[in-house]
Structure 1
């Protein structure tokens, strides 16, 4: 069994059967205990996704053998 250090709603867990070292974070618990928050995209996730999209659009698409990814 795995115990969280505080109560809340589980937002994600590492895949079952994955070998990890002791002490590694294997999940995410939302302390707000708001179940509906599990079905929303956080501001942080939107910012990361926006940065990735900007990088892809800036650098373009190419096959690895062409020297650009």
Structure 2
């Protein structure tokens, strides 16, 4: 029962704090979904022509036909 009393006091304090927040005049504040203005730091995804296959393969240490060969990832 001591634990119930403690929880009741904590809930009462939480509700008191919410009541204080409800008294704040927010008429001049625009509604938002976040507390800060979020902006994407990523660039736009733009499609561009890729390099010719021969140029790419010329930089690969090992290839077979049009495929770059790598060491096995799983054994």
TM-score (normalised: structure 1): 0.28
Using CA pairs under 8 Å that are at least 6 residues apart, name the structure with larger relative contact order, 1 or 2. Answer: 1
Q: Which has the greater radius of gyration? A: 2
Which structure shows the bigger proportion of residues in strand conformation?
A: 1
TM-score (normalised: structure 2): 0.26
